[in-house]
């Protein structure tokens, strides 16, 4: 009769081998995917990061609408939180390059230095302002060589953006 010291490890190894050979989820080739189709296969996706930001100030409602008009498949909006916890569409935590905050003397005492990605940056930051305060700022082109005629857009909250999306857009939740 085989010793228990030999049989138990052998059974344990068989169980481990049997369990590891079983997939925990169905493999793609074994799922019933006959009715599923990819979103598209005939061309690459056109993702509008920050909207149509080469022409219109980035992360503005006008930039998002222009991107939709130009045929964007997706709009990728950057989201930051304000001092009062409201989510806004903004790429940078620093407001200096994309808003007219330097023209607002009432905010002069809000200039701070924060470590951003291991670099100390001094300026005005979204986390130091409420949504109401940020609504008084106007967006501007980040780079002076871009067309400045569209400056003057306002920052938008994510909720406002979602509420005003065109009805022709749908969400694919497959």
Of 20 and 172, the one with more pLDDT: 20
Who contacts 110 (Cβ-Cβ below 8 Å, separation ≥6)? 124, 128, 129
pLDDT digits (tens, 9 = 90+) for 63-75: 888 888 988 888 8
> Which domains are delineated in the chain?
32-163 (3.20.20.190)
CA 30 and chain centroid, separation:
33
State which H helix or E strand residue 80 sits in.
Answer: strand 79-81
Residues 118 and 42: their CA atoms lie apart, in Å, by: 42
Residues 155 and 32: their CA atoms lie apart, in Å, by: 45
Sign of CA dihedral 164, 83, 79, 135: positive
| 91 a catalytic residue | yes
Residue with tokens 């569209």: 150
Nearest to 170 by CA among 68, 85, 96: 68
CB 99 within 8 A of CB 139: yes
pLDDT digits (tens, 9 = 90+) for 93-114: 999 999 999 999 999 999 999 9
Of 83, 91, 135, 146, the catalytic one is 91
Q: Strands 47-49 and 74-76, how do they pair?
A: parallel
| 104 a catalytic residue | no
Of 49, 104, 110, 111, the catalytic one is 49
pLDDT of residue 121: 94
Q: pLDDT over 70 for what percent of the chain?
A: 71
Residue 167 has pLDDT above 80, yes or no: no
């Amino acid at each position: 009769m085989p010793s228990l010291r030999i049989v138990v490890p052998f059974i344990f190894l068989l169980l481990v081998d049997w369990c590891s050979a079983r997939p925990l989820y169905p493999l793609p080739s074994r799922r019933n995917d006959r009715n599923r189709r990819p979103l598209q296969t005939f061309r690459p996706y056109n993702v509008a990061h920050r909207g149509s930001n080469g022409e219109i100030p980035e992360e503005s409602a006008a930039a998002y609408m222009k991107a939709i008009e130009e045929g964007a498949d997706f709009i990728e909006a950057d989201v930051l939180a304000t001092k009062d916890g409201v989510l806004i569409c903004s790429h940078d935590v620093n407001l200096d390059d994309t808003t007219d905050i330097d023209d607002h003397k009432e905010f002069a005492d809000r200039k701070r230095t924060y470590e951003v990605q291991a670099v100390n940056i001094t300026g005005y930051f979204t986390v130091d302002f409420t949504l109401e305060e940020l609504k008084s700022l106007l967006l501007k082109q980040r780079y002076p060589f871009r067309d400045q005629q569209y400056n003057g857009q306002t920052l938008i909250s994510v909720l406002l953006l979602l509420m005003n999306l065109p009805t022709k857009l749908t969400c694919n939740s497959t």
